[in-house]
A = this chain, B = another copy of it.
């Protein structure tokens, strides 16, 4: 598991976008530079980046973003503006009070959709 030019390039595209990007849009961008890119190319890179905590999947959008915190893994909370598309990544929320007793959380998906302060 090491950072490679390919993976670094995918990360760079995510960072440059600054907002959630679809896998096939990444693929199109990659193809425009190196015609040989194919779906597994981008999905593997995304899997790697998520595994090491450099990217997250926005589950309800089927899109991917660069991590804004460089935390190790899990636990991101995303505030996604439906108007301008901006994503504000936070983390550190405590375990919810109303969790079922005995439930041991391994991974959480927390995505809030609404309007950011600028878009009210």
Report whether A107 and B114 are in contact in the complex, using a CB–CB cutoff of 8 Å.
yes
Tell me whether A120 and B104 are in contact (CB under 8 A).
yes
- Each complex incorporates copies of this chain amounting to 2
On whether the beta carbons of A100 and B114 are closer than 8 Å, the reply is no
Cα-based distance from A98 to B69 in the complex (angstroms): 14
Decide yes or no whether A96 CB sits under 8 A from chain B: yes
Contact with A82, one of B91, B102, B106, B120 (Cβ below 8 angstroms): B106
Q: A114 is contacted by which of B77, B104, B112, B114 (Cβ under 8 Å)? A: B104
Instruction: A102-B120, A107-B113, A109-B111 are known; give 8 further A-B pairs, CB within 8 A.
Output: A79-B103, A102-B116, A103-B115, A104-B115, A104-B120, A105-B113, A107-B112, A107-B114
